[in-house]
Amino acid sequence: MTTPSAHMGTMAVHAGQSPCPTTGAVMPPVYLSSTYAQQSPGEHAGFEYTRSHNPTRYALERSIARLEGSTLCESSDASFGGFAFSSGLAAISCLLDTLTAGDHVLAMDDLYGGTHRLFRQVRARSQGLNFNFADLSKLDEVEAAITPETKLLWVETPTNPMLKLADLEAIAAIAKDRGILCACDNTFATPILQRPLASGFDVVMHSATKYLGGHSDVVGGILVTGCPQLAETIRFHQNSVGSILGPFDSYLVLRGIKTLDIRMRAHCQGAAQIAAMLSSHPKVRLVVYPTHSSHPQSELAARQMQIDGTPVGGGMITIELDGDLAGCRRFLESLDVFTLAESLGGVESLANHPAIMTHASVPAEDRAALGINDSLVRLSVGIEDVRDLIADLQSALEAI
Ligand SMILES: *Cc1c(COP(=O)(O)O)cnc(C)c1O
């Protein structure tokens, strides 16, 4: 076990894991068993049934809890602060399950499309929750949108796909003042760039499908909290509702996390170079990248998103092309190293057309208000040689 003061690169490899006491296996074994033998009724080694307890899932839950800086992760029983689910949306659903019909949820207006759909089209009806969407990058809008029924503040930063930022410390302070739970979807930044619990947030959520897994070969979700009561509540709902991450998928995410630090450094470095190239390209109308000087919140980005004290912008870039939908299609069809696909955060570079692909479920008028138009393209910069990525983009831009 590593000490909590270890650097992130060391924690990514070791946190929450130690060699198997029986065999010395360096990687945690994949425990596929659904049930565990008891010596006498109720007497067992802490494991009864895999929905409730699984050693491989525990290894992942401990690892991500440590990386996100949860102070609950020292404990060897089931009260540590990390929880793994069958998808990112299952993780969000579990947090919503801790709320009660009539509660109000205030969320960022520019959200992952699936989160928006879950809130508006499912949980508003099935659970009777009330959702409101506001531009949480503006603090006065946060204050104005809070009601006496507000129980949860849901923040994504940077957002998907417009890469808007929310000031984590300021929002946590507003929530704390009013006794409102605040949760941050940290999928885009990962704990390598920002740790919302340290800024005062109660919960961090991840789509482990993206950077944590990192290889586009597993779907999973994570919740982490540093609050003991909330950990108990989440554990109860995770077990009661049952959308846990399976043992093999837990292993894959854990394996991905081992290279998270080194991958995030490569993603950030490549993306910064690509953003610089695109911002002087005549076929590109707009480049949105958090640490780029043209980003309206580049100062906040520099303060909030860092590796080793150096500001970094992450691996995602959003661009508006100087062309219509047909031109945009030609660009996307001409890419060769970039793959046209949904999702993000893998070692391979992906390009996505939000309006038609990932954000089709967001109502057209909301898309327009957010700036998600037909010329918008979202890039997930992988860890290939950046010279090949730049050449690929330059050549495809000629096709517009
Ligand atoms: C993908 C994604 C999700 C949903 O996660 P799944 O694993 O696809 O269920 C939530 N938030 C963000 C920011 C995402 O990118």
| pLDDT of 113 | 87
Out of 57, 151, 210, 283, pick the active-site residue. 210
Of the residues 36, 51, 255, 265, only one is catalytic, namely: 51
Q: Which of 31, 112, 251, 289 is catalytic?
A: 112
- Residue from 109, 167, 185, 392 carrying the catalytic annotation: 185
Does the beta carbon of 243 lie inside 6 Å of ligand 1?
A: no
Q: Is 151 a catalytic residue?
A: no
Looking at residue 110, its pLDDT comes to 86
For ligand 1, say whether the CB of 87 is within 6 Å of any of its atoms: yes
Q: Is 210 a catalytic residue?
A: yes
Ligand 1 centroid distance, CA of 89 (Å): 6
Q: Is there an atom of ligand 1 within 6 Å of 17 CB?
A: no
- From atom 9 of ligand 1, which residue's Cα is the shortest distance away? 88
What distance in angstroms lies between residue 275's CA and the mean position of ligand 1's atoms?
Answer: 23
How high is the pLDDT of residue 76?
53
Catalytic residue status for 135: no
The 3-state secondary structure of the chain reads: CCCCCCCHHHHHHHCCCCCCCCCCCCCCCCCCCCECCCCECCECCCCCECCCCCHHHHHHHHHHHHHCCCCCCCCCCCCCCEEEECCHHHHHHHHHHCCCCCCEEEEECCCCHHHHHHHHHHHHHHCCCEEEEECCCCHHHHHHHCCCCEEEEEEECCCCCCCCCCCHHHHHHHHHHCCCEEEEECCCCHHHHCCHHHHCCCEEEEECCCCCCCCCCCCCEEEEECCHHHHHHHHHHHHHHCCECCHHHHHHHHHHHCCHHHHHHHHHHHHHHHHHHHHCCCCEEEEECCCCCCCCCHHHHHHHCEECCEECCCCEEEEEECCCHHHHHHHHHHCCCCEECCCCCCCCCEEECCCCCCCCCCCHHHHHHHCCCCCEEEEECCCCCHHHHHHHHHHHHCCC
pLDDT at 360: 85
User: Which residue's alpha carbon is at the smallest distance from atom 7 of ligand 1?
Assistant: 88
Which of 160, 203, 223, 344 should be mutated for ligand 1, with most atoms under 8 A from CB? 160
> Is any atom of ligand 1 closer than 6 Å to the C-beta of 69?
no
Q: Which of 117, 155, 209 for a ligand 1 pocket mutation test, highest count of atoms within 8 Å of Cβ?
A: 209
Ligand 1: does its nearest atom lie under 6 Å from the Cβ of 380?
Answer: no
**Residue 188 CA, ligand 1 centroid: distance in Å:** 9
pLDDT tens across the length of the chain (400 residues) = 556 679 999 999 999 888 988 999 999 999 999 999 999 999 999 999 999 999 999 999 999 999 999 988 665 555 589 999 999 999 999 999 999 999 999 999 888 889 999 999 999 999 999 999 999 988 998 999 999 999 999 999 999 889 999 999 999 999 999 999 999 999 999 999 999 999 999 999 999 999 999 999 999 999 999 999 999 999 999 999 999 999 999 999 999 999 999 999 999 999 999 999 999 999 999 999 999 999 999 999 999 999 999 999 999 999 999 999 999 999 999 999 999 999 999 999 999 999 999 888 888 888 888 889 999 999 999 999 999 999 999 999 999 9
Residue 160 Cβ inside 6 Å of ligand 1? The answer reads yes
Q: Is 138 a catalytic residue?
A: no
Q: What is the pLDDT of residue 79?
A: 52
Q: CB of 210 closer than 6 A to ligand 1?
A: yes
154 in ligand 1 pocket by Cβ < 6 Å? no
